[in-house]
Amino acid sequence: MKTDAVDPVDLSAASPTRRAARSAQSAELPRACGIGLKPEHFRELLDTRPALGFVEVHAENYMVPGGPYHHYLSRVHEHYALSIHGVGLSIGGDAPLDEAHLQRLVELLDRHRPERFSEHLAWSSHGGHFFNDLLPLPYTEARLQRVCEHVDQVQRRLNRQILLENPATYVQFADSAIPETEFLSEVIARTGCGLLLDVNNVYVSCINHGLNSRDYIRALPCDRVGEIHLAGFTRDRDAAGAPLLIDSHGSPVADAVWQLYEFALDLTGPVATLIERDNNLPPLPMLVAEALQAQTLLERQHSAEREATS
């Protein structure tokens, strides 16, 4: 796709975005597996110290001046690497970013100094109203420029590279003119951000839209993947009776997603991998067991890399 007609950010080596992207390269997550950290597990995690590489929290749950959440997160970060995952910046929206929200994010990251920060290719606010959802966007040249402007703005304010997550979608815009994988690739190329590859989202979206999930992953810049997410989905049917998968984060990772994860690792190499669980939260040992299942696959990939270079 031609890009010279629409170039919202400076791609020179001296640009603020490129400097922010480079400055964050030394602060990466370990190539190991982690879990989403929930308050129900704060104390047990600290007491038992399971063999995890990192934990991840949602930024918006910690945008308060003080309290027990910050206390426990600081203690957990003494033992595990930390990833903070945003859900409310509305990077995919047409409206300007909410400055108050962005400032709260700056303060949160300054406070906890996570190894990684990520957000979604989605929008969740409009006209001062915030929606409890991650909504799809049209893949057009105009929206591509807007998203690049937003990513560039966030990386400058945070003074770090962010990872942008591929979405789970249930509808598509009729006026979308750019394939989603090409849209993501172009944002990454123009802004210097990285990719958070959500394998469950790939599987859900491809089933919902009749696409090939392996072709989808092949079309992404897999060398720019800084983290992988795995989660469970819910099966449903749309109004026409066709299969519809919902990215519910309320069940264990499905076998088909595990298989797709193995395929993805062949292209990305070993990458920090998170088990997401936001609903029907199981006991901590069950989450850790899923993380260890992913760790086994990561270590297998490590071994394959070592054999290839020996």
What is the per-residue pLDDT across 137-155, written as a single tens digit (0 to 9) for each? 899 999 999 999 999 999 9
Cα(144)–Cα(256) distance, integer angstroms:
31
**H or E, element range at 146:** helix 141-158
- pLDDT of residue 17 exceeding 60, the answer is no
Give CA separation, 158 vs 17, 199, 256, in Å.
10, 26, 36
Q: Which long-range contacts (CB under 8 A, 24 or more apart) does 172-180 make?
A: 172/136, 172/209, 173/136, 173/137, 173/138, 173/139, 175/138, 175/140, 176/138, 176/139, 176/140, 177/139, 177/140, 177/141, 178/1, 178/139, 178/140, 178/141, 178/144, 179/139, 179/219, 180/139, 180/205, 180/216
On whether the pTM is more than 0.85, the answer is yes
Residue 96 has pLDDT above 60, yes or no: yes
Residue 79, number of CB atoms within 10 A of its CB: 11
Inter-residue contact 55 to 82 (CB < 8 Å): yes
pLDDT of residue 184 exceeding 60 = yes
pLDDT, tens digit, 9 for 90 and up, residues 246-274: 999 999 999 999 999 999 999 999 999 99
126 to 136, 145, 281: CA distances (angstroms): 13, 18, 31
Place of tokens 């995919």: 92
Mean pLDDT of the 1-30 span: 44
With a pLDDT cut of 90, the percent of the chain lying above it is 76
Name the residue type at position 57. V
Range name among 14-28, 188-202, 205-219, 287-301 with the lowest pLDDT average: 14-28
Residue 129: pLDDT over 80? no
Strand partners, 273: 33, 228
State mean pLDDT over 39-55.
98
Give the pLDDT score at 12: 33
Higher-pLDDT residue of 81 and 130 is 81
Task: List the one residue out of 28, 14, 54, 72 whose CA is nearest residue 275.
Answer: 54
**Residue ranges per structural domain of the chain:** 16-309
Q: Considering the domain delimited by 16-309, tell me its CATH architecture.
A: Alpha-Beta Barrel (3.20)
Q: What is the mean pLDDT of residues 156-173?
A: 94
Model confidence pLDDT, tens digit, residues 103-128: 999 999 999 999 999 999 996 766 66
pLDDT at residue 123 in the model: 63
Determine contact, residues 34/52, Cβ cutoff 8 Å: yes
Q: How far is CA 70 from CA 59, 62, 169, 171, 281, in A?
A: 11, 7, 33, 37, 21
Quick count: other Cβ atoms within 10 Å of Cβ 211? 15
Nearest CA among 127, 41, 125 for reference residue 86 = 125
Any idea which residue has 């989905």 for tokens? 233
